[in-house]
Amino acid sequence: MHDNYCYPVSMGSEITTLTGTAVAASAGVPDRTRALVAAWLAEFRSDNTRRAYSRDLNRYAAFLAEHGVDDILDTRRAMAAAWAESMRTTVDENGARTISEATIARRLSAVSSFLAYAVDEDAVDANPLAKMKRPKVAVDEDSAVWLDKAQMKAFLAAAALHSKRAHALAALMLTTGARVSEVLAADVADLGHTGGHRVLTVTRKGGRKQNLPIVPWVGRIVDDWLDGREQGPLFATAARTGGHGRLDQPAAFRLIRKLAAAAGLPNAEQLHPHSLRHSAITAALDEGASLRDVQAMAGHADPRTTERYDRMRGRLDASPVYVLGAALAD
């Protein structure tokens, strides 16, 4: 199976580009289906969402093709169920599953979303996945890794020693709680001023724009990194073709692990970009910010998401383990 950004997986040559996502054109796929996929993807403003959904649809199309179905619009509920089961039985050389229930749920959701769009466009009569039972994904709160304030400062110090870019990235993420995808997608032009505040305008999930304030000391770090540059990606990397490329998420992931190790953090090998966002949200709550204000800062559509962060930080602090430990210490 080809794991690219094309739909569907089939032998063909013509490729139509759609803002970073490609829709494959091949003789075995009806034009109307290709057009529907392109129109469906176009409704998502986030390039990351388009790429992820395109990959998921691509995988399902490949599965259907292996079973003699050339058009995803001809899918049936039983086919989707068989696809889900095939993912559950995909294992590595040690016999361990390689695809989680959360991933299966997301992939089925992407296919269902496209088929629902096809129904709205009168391309099919019904969405066969609409009533399909999908995996229930439980939130594993104890798998979250975040830093306390002392560790956040150590991380910032390590970033300052590493490079100006690393320092600016760490400072912005640890003070705004922005998602790494939001920060890396920002351009220099997204820095500005409004209402007496210096701000960074980020694009939230769903394409909504939001201004995040930049505190003065962070602003100075960002300016030091930019060194007068007024255009291009906010977090740029040297492009092979000249000009400025954009720092991508895998590179940011590696950088964060490297900085965590340099800072001597005990959980350095577990840290990832979301850990910085989690740390910022938790620290804001620790400092007395209201749940409502933190929800706004984090861009959470549902307040229950913010409440989860609050519950996680409180559960460890209030654990009776510490009471028992103190009682038995002598």
In this structure, are 167 and 284 located in the same domain? yes
Out of 138, 173, 193, a domain closes at: 138
In this structure, are 231 and 177 located in the same domain? yes
**Exposed/middle/buried for 320, CB within 10 Å: 0-12, 13-18, 19+?**
exposed
**What pLDDT shows up at residue 190?**
97
Residue at 88 is within a domain? yes
Q: How far apart are CA 57 and CA 41, in angstroms?
A: 11
Q: How far apart are CA 298 and CA 112, in angstroms?
A: 28
In this structure, are 120 and 157 located in the same domain? no
**What pLDDT shows up at residue 16?**
40
């510490």: which residue's tokens? 322
Q: Which domain range does residue 296 map to?
A: 143-323
Out of 85, 108, 138, a domain closes at: 138
User: At 62, which CATH number?
Assistant: 1.10.150
Give the H/E segment covering residue 201. strand 197-203
pLDDT digits (tens, 9 = 90+) for 80-121: 999 999 998 988 777 787 888 888 888 999 999 999 999 999
Residue at 7 is within a domain? no
pLDDT band at residue 242 under the 50/70/90 scheme: low
In this structure, are 252 and 234 located in the same domain? yes
User: Among 49-63, 236-250, 295-309, 312-326, whose mean pLDDT is lowest?
Assistant: 236-250
Residue at 8 is within a domain? no
Residue at 318 is within a domain? yes
Out of 138, 161, 178, a domain closes at: 138
Which of 53, 51, 75, 52 has its CA nearest to residue 63? 75
In this structure, are 173 and 306 located in the same domain? yes
